Amino acid sequence: MVFEGLANRLQDTFNRLRGKGKLSESDVKEAMREVRLALLEADVNFKVVKEFVEKVRERAVGQEVLQSLTPAQQVIKIVNDELTQLMGGSQAKIAQAAKPPTVVMMVGLQGAGKTTTTGKLAQFLKKQGKYPLLVAGDVYRPAAIKQLQILGEQLKTPVFSMGDQVSPVDIAKAALEHARVHGFDYVLIDTAGRLHIDEALMNELKMVKDAVNPHEILLVVDAMTGQDAVQVADTFHKELEVTGAILTKLDGDTRGGAALSIRAVTGTPIKFAGMGEKLDALEPFHPDRMASRILG
């Protein structure tokens, strides 16, 4: 379970704090030291941890908190608030164009779960009564087009493909035209991923972006890769100005560092969380619910 280790450690810290009754400034300091270590152990970005703990400490040593009847409870509430803020505050929803179709470009490194997530997103949109078109724009990975077509069949959702001999830019343009003519609400463009970020990949993604002017560029990152995922998000954001991240494999045994760091490091909100391999295992990302999961 994501955040399990972090949740356990914070619960120990806060139980000790509750046991004390009245709190002194040094009690708070001691608790903050523990919070800091717990976050670092959960693989949260070092700078993010530092700023977070400082913010919480400042609020927690305030007169009103220490002199209240339930100081420990107040400190926990502050941690809860700040964790929620750290992950973006309120839920960041997927864009919807004033005039359909809404164009969504899916980007990410190979293996992050981009193609699967594109299918999951189509399913999510369909459940909301939308009519999405899947676009097979990854022309380099031999199985990618086939994979998307199979997903399309499972989801009973049309897949736009021009094979692997046409440039991704031309595919994206033609797909958009096709969507306009046929009244699709959303165009979900699966793009090529590589094992590593390289200039050729970025240039091509920029060309696709310039060609179709997406309302949303969603970066799919693997939560299991921890701070590497944050690094990847930072680079993609700088190059492409992504509008949101989707964190996959949060059902796995990840410590949660990526979930807690991505927003603070890159400024990009996490919009969805992948919670499994099945097509319905995609959830809108709720910062407050995630914080509650950590604090129990």
Q: What residue numbers does the annotated binding site for GTP cover?
A: 108-115, 190-194, 248-251
CB of 141 to ligand GDP, least distance (A): 7
CB 54 within 8 A of CB 36: no
Q: Does residue 79 sit in helix, strand or coil?
A: helix
How far does CA 209 lie from the centroid of its chain?
Answer: 20
x/- letters, 112..131, toward ligand GDP (CB under 6 A): xxxxxx--------------
CB 128 within 8 A of CB 211: no
For residue 93, which of 104, 83, 85 has the smallest C-alpha distance?
104
Task: Check binding of 276 to ligand GDP (CB under 6 A).
Answer: yes
Q: What are phi and psi of 17, to 5 degrees?
A: -65, -40
Identity of the residue, 10 or 270, whose beta carbon is nearer to ligand GDP in the bound complex: 270
Task: Check binding of 193 to ligand GDP (CB under 6 A).
Answer: yes
Identity of the residue, 57 or 249, whose beta carbon is nearer to ligand GDP in the bound complex: 249
CB of 44 to ligand GDP, least distance (A): 20
Identity of the residue, 143 or 166, whose beta carbon is nearer to ligand GDP in the bound complex: 143
Candidate residues 249, 271, 286, 293; the one interacting with ligand GDP per rule CB under 6 A: 249
Evaluated on CA atoms 57, 60, 62, 63, the torsion sign reads: negative
Identity of the residue, 66 or 281, whose beta carbon is nearer to ligand GDP in the bound complex: 281
Task: Check binding of 248 to ligand GDP (CB under 6 A).
Answer: yes
Task: Check binding of 277 to ligand GDP (CB under 6 A).
Answer: yes
Span interacting with ligand GDP, options 82-90, 126-134, 156-164, 270-278, rule CB under 6 A: 270-278
Q: How far apart are CA 212 and CA 214, in angstroms?
A: 6
Residue with tokens 């692997």: 164
Cα 7 to Cα 32, 35, 40, 119, 199, distances in angstroms: 15, 10, 13, 32, 39
Tokens of 138: 């990854």
Identity of the residue, 71 or 193, whose beta carbon is nearer to ligand GDP in the bound complex: 193
Q: How far apart are CA 183 and CA 57, in angstroms?
A: 53
Task: Check binding of 191 to ligand GDP (CB under 6 A).
Answer: no
Element (H, E) at 178: helix 168-182
Element (H, E) at 245: strand 244-248
Task: Check binding of 251 to ligand GDP (CB under 6 A).
Answer: yes
CB of 111 to ligand GDP, least distance (A): 5
Residues annotated within the binding site are 108-115, 190-194, 248-251
Task: Check binding of 152 to ligand GDP (CB under 6 A).
Answer: no
Cα 263 to Cα 86, 181, 234, distances in angstroms: 7, 37, 10
Span interacting with ligand GDP, options 42-50, 60-68, 106-114, 284-292, rule CB under 6 A: 106-114
Identity of the residue, 152 or 274, whose beta carbon is nearer to ligand GDP in the bound complex: 274
Identity of the residue, 45 or 225, whose beta carbon is nearer to ligand GDP in the bound complex: 225
Q: How far apart are CA 181 and CA 205, in angstroms?
A: 25
Residues in binding contact with ligand GDP, number by CB under 6 A: 19
Region of 108 (left: φ > 0; alpha: ψ -120 to 50; beta: rest) is: left
* Closest residue to ligand GDP in the complex (CB): 274
Contact positions vs ligand GDP (CB under 6 A): 108, 110-117, 193, 248-249, 251-252, 274-277, 281
